[in-house]
Homo-oligomer: A and B are copies of this chain.
Amino acid sequence: MTRARPMRADARRNYERLLTAAAEAFAEHGEGASLDDIAKRAGVGSGTLYRHFPTRQALLEAAYVDRVEAFAVRADELGARLPPGEALVAWLNELCVGTLQVRGMKALLGSAVTDGAGRAVPACATSVKDAAARLVEAAQREGTLRADVEPMEVLRLAHGLASAAELVGGDGGCGSIRRYVTLLTEGLRPAR
């Protein structure tokens, strides 16, 4: 961990402003929001944005860390309250809905579970992965989840379900999430 030396007062202020402006802009225009516009909203030169956040993804991550961490916390809450199998399903539902409700979140979580060679994995990825691992392993011990699935697979499939639900018109797909999670859980084979 690089220990952050405290920032100069104006730098810290600009940093905060950029985060606020970014959260607004991403919410309005999604992942592709104009960086120039974000700098303008923050009342900051565009160079300052690049100084603090060298890539779009770095900014996206910084703006959404809290929400991502909240997913991890939520996993443990559900894990404490429900039987493991139910907890996992409930969490997947919430994760997918959150993915679709917060614009730009899908891209961020997607990059968190990507393992391409040259890709930058956001720092917040670890907490989600660990949270998923705890739920997955508990459900497997309970015997309600296939023993051969890995936490990363589950997270990638969740990303896939969100992508699938996104194609449904109306409320941006949130209404279809439950259905798709059920289909994945139970499988496409007929119930016996």
- Nearest-neighbour CB distance to chain B for A192, whole angstroms, equals 9
Contact mask for chain A residues 141-154; partner B; CB cutoff 8 A; 1 contact, 0 none: 00111110100011
Q: Does A6 contact B (CB under 8 A)?
A: no
Flag if A117 contacts B190 (CB, 8 Å). Answer: no
A178–B188 alpha-carbon span in the complex (Å): 15
Known pairs A146-B190, A190-B146, A191-B146; A156 contacts B184 (CB<8 A):
no
Binds B, one of A12-20, A63-71, A157-165: A157-165
Sorting the interface of chain A by its residue count into under 10, 10 to 19, 20 to 34 or 35 or more gives 35 or more
- Nearest-neighbour CB distance to chain B for A93, whole angstroms, equals 13
* This chain's copy number in the assembly: 2
Q: Does A10 contact B (CB under 8 A)?
A: no
Residue positions of A touching B, CB distance < 8 A: 110, 113-117, 119, 143-147, 149, 153-154, 156-157, 159-165, 167-169, 179-180, 183-191
The one of B154, B163, B185 that contacts A163, using a Cβ cutoff of 8 Å: B163
- Please indicate which of the listed interface residues A113, A116, A160, A188 has the most CB atoms of chain B within 10 Å of its own CB: A188
Q: Which residues of B contact A113 (CB under 8 A)?
A: 167
